Amino acid sequence: MQKMNPSPDDSGANDRNRGLEAPAAPVISYNEVVLDHFLHPHNVGELAKADTDGFVVVGDSSCGDQMKLWISVRNQRIAKIAFQSFGCPGAIATSSMLTVLAEGRTIEEARLITDDDVVEALGGIPAKKRHCSLLGVQALQAVIDDWEKRGRAPPEQP
């Protein structure tokens, strides 16, 4: 089996069709960071029930994408985070990057993460995939709402 290779430039092309080589980039050209988060997403899976302090399912009705997000909160901090996503490469990569940005943050800090932060951390995504990054940020806000609703103390005011 061919090894997964995030570089579309070097994708195990054989010589037979050399003369017919397509442009190196995929139809929607994602950069290497996005490709890496798509191929090797971080924090995939679910948290054990005992660990779960907040859980949410959010959907994007415009494109059918769906995301589940779990958090475990210790001392007002997101100690563990896990996600599952159904959707296009943009949805998977932005979900993954969102969990990377949120992990270890205080609730207060996590509340401030925006879709622009996610896109910037990924080094940009194609314009028509920008809406994907909103789903993760909505999920993060909603999962914190859920944690608050479960009766945990709201964050202390500075």
Partner 1 sequence: MIYLDHNATTPLHPRAFEAMLPFLKELWANPSSPYRFGSQAKAAVEFGRGQIANCIGCKPSEVVFCSGGTESDNLALRGVVRALKSKGNHIVTTAIEHPAVLNTCKALENEGYRVTYLPVTEEGVVEMAALRASLCDGTILVTVMHANNETGVIQPVEEIATTTRARGVVFHTDAVQSAGKLDRKLAELGADLVTFSGHKLYGPRGVGVLYVREGTPLAPWMTGGTHEHGLRAGTENVAAIAGCAEAVTLAFEEAETEGHRLRSLRDRFELQVGAAIQAVRFNGSEAQRVPNTSNISFQDVDGESVVLGLDVRGICVSTGSACSTDDPEPSHVLRAMGLSPRAAQGSVRFSLGRDTCAADLDATVSALKDTVAHLRRVSSIRGDLE
Distance from C-alpha of 140 to C-alpha of 35, rounded to nearest angstrom: 22
CA distance from start to end of the chain: 55
**Unique residue bearing structure tokens 């988060």:** 37
- Taking the least distance from each CB to partner 1, the nearer of 18 and 156 is 18
CB 9 to partner 1: min, Å? 10
List, edge to edge, every strand of the sheet that includes 66-74.
54-59, 66-74, 77-86
Binding range to partner 1, per CB under 8 A, among 9-17, 97-105, 117-125, 143-151: 9-17
Q: Is residue 60 within 8 Å of residue 38, measured between CB atoms? A: no
- Taking the least distance from each CB to partner 1, the nearer of 90 and 107 is 90
Phi/psi class of residue 72: alpha, beta or left (left: φ > 0; alpha: ψ in -120 to 50)?
A: beta
Determine which residue in the list 13, 145, 150, 154 makes contact with partner 1, applying CB under 8 A.
13
CB 144 to partner 1: min, Å? 19
- Taking the least distance from each CB to partner 1, the nearer of 55 and 107 is 55
User: Which residues contact partner 1 by CB under 8 A?
Assistant: 1-2, 4-8, 11-14, 16-17, 20-22, 26-28, 30, 35, 38-39, 41, 44, 57, 62-68, 83-89, 91-92, 128
